[in-house]
Amino acid sequence: MIPRYTRNEMKNIWSDENKFKKFLEVEIAVCEAWNKKGIIPESALKIIKEKTYIDVKKIEEIEKKTKHDMIAFIEQISSLVGPASSYLHYGITSSDILDTSLNLILIQAGSIILDDMKKLKDVFKKQAIKYKNIPMIGRTHGIHAEPITLGFKFAGWYFEMERNIKRMEYAIEEIKVGKISGAVGTYAHLIPEIEEYVCKKFNLKTENFSTQIISRDRYAFFISTLGVISASLEKFALQVRLLQQTELSEASEPFEEGQKGSSAMPHKKNPIICERICGLARIIKNNTGVSLENVALWHERDISHSSAERIIFPESTILLDYILNLSINIFENLKIHPEKMESNIFLTNGLIFSQRILLLLCQKGMPRKDAYEIVQKNALKCYAEKKDFKIYILEDTDIRKYFTEKEIEDIFDIKWYLRYIKEIFQKIK
């Protein structure tokens, strides 16, 4: 991933140094397990543990010849321990190291993402409570519907992140497995106790059944979860973009001192951070499709998944970490324009009260079809003539025989729509 969209903590997790370090940790754990079974002498294990270290440049140099990164890794550490190298990679295959190490890295990456998500959820909680009484218009199809509050919008995002956190926790559990079962997974040159020792050491579960690899459905689930989370972040960012439109101007992302919005138009304050989130979320979502393609491999395995995974795992986790932190900053520092929210509520001259009038007419005994047609007739007049909707209701004799003028005045009160709003916020933990 290009540095522009990479945060250092996640960058370090996906570094070659960390990858080969994990290879070495698993390799040594296998040696320890064989030592406990009497296959590797204590003296050889001591040399392996004390003298091996990672030399990435050397591994890269060897790989140019071997065209195989695992063999290059084994040759590099073997050159450090002399005759004790006979016991390195004993009975195992590349995927034993690759998949077990990969899962350790994904757990590291997943933990960072999980922390990010919890921070964003806390931001939504804070903003939901802060703005729970700030009214704004709710929109469906982009058209004015009925009043909500800004806090209500934040509350919806809070609960969505709460669900995403649970999904991420489950996804991490899904890949919290190790595999040390050898070529094609039959333990032909191993014993299950080796796998049990290694997995226990790294707090992994042993894979119930593996071929030469851990089945890729686990990874597809993990990446798909990242895709769902990114879709949520795209949704939240898109909301800000919509609210920031000039015609709405109800909220806007932070615009820092010295920032420029356009090379041509000095007045522009564009929602570029939210647009960036939406753009990068598309990449993560598309990687979900790649991970699903990786599930179907030839027989006990091929490596068509390998090249793709070298891209989609670091790319998806790095980008998700990045856009999560962008989201935390945006929603923590979101610029709110309550006066514009209030004026926009009444932009349609009271048409937003049409459903309440409809239902009150039904309560009075008017058939719903008739009530709907009478209210709609007046609403269409209001659209065309741009006068206060209340005037049309007061002038309609079919409606006035059911209501006094005072009752009609009471109908046009947005507080009625928000009378249960406090109950929603009591659900926020």
Q: Which residue numbers are catalytic? A: 141, 262
If 0-12 CB within 10 Å is exposed, 13-18 middle and 19+ buried, where does residue 298 land? exposed
Q: Where are the alpha helices (DSSP H) in 14-55?
A: 16-36, 42-51
**Residue 5 to residue 24: CA distance in whole angstroms:** 29
Q: Is 126 helix (H, G, I), strand (E, B) or coil?
A: helix
**Residue 251 to residue 337: CA distance in whole angstroms:** 6
**Residue 63 to residue 73: CA distance in whole angstroms:** 8
- At 354, the amino acid letter reads S
**Residue 171 to residue 44: CA distance in whole angstroms:** 38
DSSP-assigned letters across all residues of 132-169:
TT-EEEEEETTEEEEEEEHHHHHHHHHHHHHHHHHHHH
Pairing of strands 135-140, 335-336: unpaired
CA-wise closest residue to 101 among 168, 184, 198, 32: 198
DSSP-assigned letters across all residues of 168-221:
HHHHHHHT-EE----GGGS-TTS-HHHHHHHHHHTT-EEPSS-SSS--THHHHH
For residues 182 and 236, is the Cβ–Cβ distance under 8 A?
A: no
- At 245, the amino acid letter reads Q
Q: Which two tokens stand for residue 329?
A: 């900053």
Tell the residue number behind the tokens 């990068």, with chain if given. 280
For the chain, the C-alpha Rg in angstroms (whole number) is 30
DSSP state of 5: G
- At 356, the amino acid letter reads R
